[in-house]
């Protein structure tokens, strides 16, 4: 093993060495060899976390299990995030029983906070429709002192149940919160309201809204506007425009505490009997905007929601209203706007947004992905270069994956190869799909030797190309003796 060991090894040194290894098996060998080379050295929690993360992202589940057991035997202090990541890795690999077993044995580890792992295993069980197992696990662990945030755990559970269209169970969990001496937050109300409305449980949703008036919205807050909007839009979609208008008045009066001068009468005559539903929704949104207590949070939440739903025109009006009150859009608004524009194929407009603000990494990623989806990967490459020049704006794995895939789909395999090299230099490891697509493209261009180089890189990372990439390589071997020699060297045992 070609590695330059330091004179004195510290856990920080070893974590960095492991993190820089492309091959997970080499990283594991180094991890195990450290104790033999340095008798006085002992692994600590961060080293174990680095090694477990390396193995989990490489789908080396058996090796990961061995390292986890070794960590238990060492009894070193470890973070909850380590177990949460391992539980997710087990579930992703179809090893649900192992995920459950790991959580149930956390008391054998030196870990004092299980909150993240608790939320993670609950989410996974509900997504797998293991409702009884989730409920049993919840009852067994909810009151343990290692689970620190009860309200957050319940909100997570309600959210996942809503995603599974089981708002009936989510409502039961919500009603249990009082018995568990914890109280719902604004986030809890929002996820439950969305679940009830998506399942068509309108009566329960209305009762939930009224309960907000004396609990969450007691003082009137513009941040509640999204929760009200979810219900009012749903009522309009079901054709209950008159009921929506009646509830809107109560929202303005009791929920938002809007002054009388802002409770303007709305003309719903053209929207009666289910006609012109979108106009009714637009009127309600305008009333909420005018009636809301002006704050950065309320405008920001409303604008982001409208952009994510593709309502560009109304979102722009909210931004104008926001500006008139002296509030400037935050980065989340710009990101949502660029995502919405790219989704609609309005790439030129998205570029103007980026040009008129200080872009974040996520904002650049949204635009790069949008450009690549429109087969404009060379322009995306230009934004990547701008991103690299911007202080404090460092490309991440999402940036490189979007760019390499986009360039390959556009037949720009040379440029894709250059970006992939930079990706590896920055210690981001692509999956087999990305490698295979590039190898296949290079072979089709007659640059088979470069394809062989990337095959060698794949093998060094314990990855193998797809069948289509193998076929391209084999065809290249038939006609190119240089490639034949290179391929034989890689495949030699």
* pLDDT score recorded for residue 227: 87
Answer yes or no: is 83 within a domain: no
The model's pLDDT over 277-310, given as tens digits with 9 standing for 90+, comes to: 777 777 777 777 777 666 777 788 888 888 988 8
Report how many helices (DSSP H) and strands (DSSP E) the chain contains, helices first: 27, 0
Task: Among 394, 411, 429, identify where a domain stops.
Answer: 429
Residues 405 and 464 in one domain: no
Q: How far apart are CA 363 and CA 444, in angstroms?
A: 34
Handedness of CA 247, 252, 253, 257 (dihedral sign): positive
For tokens 């490459």, name the residue: 381
pLDDT band at 47 (very low <50, low <70, confident <90, very high): very high
Does the pLDDT value for residue 5 go beyond 80? Answer: yes
Angle at 408 (CA atoms; ends 355, 358), nearest 5 degrees: 15
Handedness of CA 157, 218, 244, 319 (dihedral sign): negative
Residues 396 and 468 in one domain: no
**Ranges 38-52, 72-86, 241-255: which has the least confidence:** 241-255
- Average pLDDT, integer, range 10-15: 90
Residues 449 and 403 in one domain: no
Q: How far apart are CA 237 and CA 419, in angstroms?
A: 47
Task: Among 429, 452, 478, identify where a domain stops.
Answer: 429
Answer yes or no: is 362 within a domain: yes
Residues 353 and 376 in one domain: yes
Say how many C-beta atoms besides its own lie within 10 A of residue 294's C-beta.
Answer: 14
Q: How far apart are CA 71 and CA 463, in angstroms?
A: 27
Answer yes or no: is 278 within a domain: no
Cα 82 to Cα 64, 66, 106, 138, 476: the distances in Å are 11, 14, 11, 21, 44
Identify the top-confidence range among 75-79, 122-126, 254-258, 362-366.
Answer: 362-366
Overall number of domains in the chain: 2
Residues 444 and 422 in one domain: no
Closest CA to 454 of 480, 434, 481: 434
- Average pLDDT, integer, range 174-190: 78
Phi-psi region of 171 (alpha: psi -120 to 50; beta: other; left: phi over 0): alpha
pLDDT band at 269 (very low <50, low <70, confident <90, very high): low
Answer yes or no: is 180 within a domain: no
- Average pLDDT, integer, range 35-62: 90
Answer yes or no: is 337 within a domain: no
Answer yes or no: is 311 within a domain: no
Answer yes or no: is 79 within a domain: no
- Average pLDDT, integer, range 181-196: 84
Give the structural domain span for 483: 431-493
Does the pLDDT value for residue 158 go beyond 80? Answer: yes
Residues 419 and 461 in one domain: no
Task: Among 410, 429, 448, identify where a domain stops.
Answer: 429
Residues 405 and 394 in one domain: yes
For tokens 């065809």, name the residue: 475
Tell me, what CATH number does 387's domain have?
A: 1.25.40.10
Residues 424 and 357 in one domain: yes
Residues 425 and 359 in one domain: yes
Q: Are the C-beta atoms of residues 252 and 229 closer than 8 Å to each other?
A: no
Average pLDDT over the chain reads: 83
* pLDDT score recorded for residue 377: 94
pLDDT band at 451 (very low <50, low <70, confident <90, very high): confident
Answer yes or no: is 363 within a domain: yes
* pLDDT score recorded for residue 286: 76
The model's pLDDT over 470-479, given as tens digits with 9 standing for 90+, comes to: 777 777 665 5
Does the pLDDT value for residue 275 go beyond 80? Answer: no
Q: Are the C-beta atoms of residues 378 and 412 closer than 8 Å to each other?
A: yes
201 backbone dihedrals φ, ψ, rounded to 5°? -90, 70
Q: How far apart are CA 306 and CA 152, in angstroms?
A: 26
**Ranges 153-167, 305-319, 358-372: which has the least confidence:** 153-167
- Average pLDDT, integer, range 2-23: 86
Residues 423 and 443 in one domain: no
For tokens 């969450």, name the residue: 216
256 backbone dihedrals φ, ψ, rounded to 5°? -95, -10
Residues 421 and 362 in one domain: yes
Residues 368 and 410 in one domain: yes
CA 365 to chain centre: 13
């Amino acid at each position: 093993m070609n590695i330059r060991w330091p004179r004195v090894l510290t856990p920080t040194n070893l974590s960095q060495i492991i993190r820089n290894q492309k091959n997970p098996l080499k990283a594991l060998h180094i991890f195990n060899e450290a104790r033999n080379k340095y008798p006085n050295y002992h692994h600590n929690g961060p080293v174990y976390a680095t090694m477990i993360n390396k193995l989990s992202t490489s789908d080396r589940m058996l090796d990961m299990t061995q390292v986890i057991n070794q960590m238990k035997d060492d009894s070193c202090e470890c973070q909850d995030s380590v177990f949460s990541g391992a539980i997710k890795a087990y579930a992703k690999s179809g090893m649900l029983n192992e995920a459950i077993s790991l959580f149930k044995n956390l008391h054998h580890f030196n870990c004092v906070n299980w909150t993240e792992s608790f939320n993670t295993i609950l989410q996974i069980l509900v997504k797998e429709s293991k409702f009884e197992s989730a409920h049993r696990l919840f009852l067994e662990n909810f009151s343990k002192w290692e689970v620190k945030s009860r309200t957050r755990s319940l909100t997570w559970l309600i959210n996942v149940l809503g995603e599974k269209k089981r708002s009936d169970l989510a409502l039961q969990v919500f009603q249990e919160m009082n018995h568990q001496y914890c109280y719902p937050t604004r986030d809890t109300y929002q996820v439950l309201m969305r679940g009830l409305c998506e399942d068509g449980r309108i009566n329960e949703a209305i009762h939930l809204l009224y309960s907000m008036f004396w609990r969450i919205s007691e003082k009137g807050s513009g941040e509640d506007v999204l929760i009200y909007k979810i219900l009012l839009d749903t009522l309009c979609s079901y054709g209950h425009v008159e009921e929506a208008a009646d509830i809107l008045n109560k929202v303005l009066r009791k929920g938002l505490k809007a002054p009388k001068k802002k409770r303007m009468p709305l003309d719903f005559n053209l929207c009666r009997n289910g006609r012109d539903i979108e106009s009714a929704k637009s009127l309600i949104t305008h009333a909420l905007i005018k009636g809301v207590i002006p704050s950065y949070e309320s405008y920001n939440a409303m604008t982001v929601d409208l952009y994510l739903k593709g309502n560009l025109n109304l979102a722009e009006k909210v931004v104008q209203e926001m500006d008139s009150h002296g509030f400037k859009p935050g980065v989340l608004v710009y990101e949502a706007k660029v995502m919405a524009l790219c989704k609609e194929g309005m790439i030129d407009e998205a570029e103007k947004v980026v040009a008129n603000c200080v872009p974040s990494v996520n904002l650049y990623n949204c635009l790069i992905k949008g450009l690549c989806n429109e087969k404009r990967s060379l322009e995306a490459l230009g934004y990547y270069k701008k991103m690299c020049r911007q202080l404090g704006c460092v490309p991440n794995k999402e940036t490189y994956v979007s760019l390499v895939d986009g360039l390959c789909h556009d037949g720009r395999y040379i440029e894709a190869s250059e970006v992939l090299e930079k990706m590896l230099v920055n210690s981001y490891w692509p999956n087999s799909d990305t490698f295979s697509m590039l190898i296949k493209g290079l072979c089709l261009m007659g640059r088979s030797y470069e394809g062989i180089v990337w095959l060698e890189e794949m093998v060094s990372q314990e990855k193998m190309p797809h069948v289509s990439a193998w076929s391209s390589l084999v065809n290249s071997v038939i006609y190119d003796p240089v490639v034949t020699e290179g391929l034989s060297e890689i495949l030699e045992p």
